[in-house]
A = this chain, B = another copy of it.
Amino acid sequence: MSTIDALQWRYATKKMNGEKVSQDKVDQIIAAARLAPTSSGLQPFKVIVVTNPELKAKIQEVAYGQTQITDSSHLLIFAAWDKYTEERIRSVFARTNAERGLPESATADYLQRLLGIFGAQTEEQNFQHAARQAYIAFGVAITEAALLKVDATPMEGFETDKLDALLGLRERGLRSVTLLPLGYRDEAGDWLVNLKKVRTPLEDFVIRID
């Protein structure tokens, strides 16, 4: 299936049937998210996987009762670094250089510039930057799920502070950004499945400036 066909097939599933997604497919979706590009290769986010029904029920309570959370097979939570610290950034550069067999000096100038840029911004600005990187991976994961014919519902509608508290994310230096329940559509119970997919007309979506 082409990406275009997969993206046409996918939709923000409103009702899932509880069927389990194979571990192999979940692994591929996570692998795709992990390979997504990020600013300076920092990957300033993590993917949290929840399958426990009781925990999903508690998450649903801070996500306006959306049933896909409990009817999903796996709930992915994209959570970004709450702040950029020198330690976090240095550790990414150290690992990258080590794996590439390069000395630390290979990236020393670049690293200093990067520390300067993030150091000049507020913690909140840096979190917003980290969150944007998580969104790239979110887009990649959504695409991969569709290619694997796994349904997924991209969600921003939840109480981030309450979810962070429920999962202890702040203690891990993370803040939740988006949710992605994975599962399979319940066609009979889903009001959206048969509605036409509507997008901005191509001629309005694209601007050619030359």
Contacts and interface: CB of A to CB of B under 8 A. Distances in A.
A138 interface: yes
Q: Is the interface of A mostly helix, strand, loop or mixed?
A: helix
B142 A136 contact: yes
A4 B30 contact: no
Nearest to A200: B43
Interface residues of A, number: 63
Given A135-B139, A136-B154, A144 B3 contact: yes
A7 B36 contact: yes
Interface stretch (A14-22, A46-54, A65-73, A182-190): A46-54
Interface in A26-64: 28, 30-32, 34-37, 39, 41, 43, 46-52, 55
A99 to B, nearest CB: 5
B205 A43 contact: yes
Contacts of A200: 34, 43, 92
Contact of A196 (B12, B34, B100, B142): B100
Number of copies: 2
A109 interface: no
A143 B139 contact: yes
Nearest to A210: B52
30 contacts: A3-B140, A3-B143, A3-B144, A4-B35, A7-B32, A7-B35, A7-B140, A10-B37, A12-B37, A30-B206, A36-B139, A37-B142, A41-B198, A43-B200, A46-B207, A48-B208, A50-B208, A50-B209, A52-B210, A92-B200, A95-B198, A100-B195, A100-B196, A128-B128, A131-B132, A132-B135, A136-B138, A139-B142, A143-B143, A143-B144
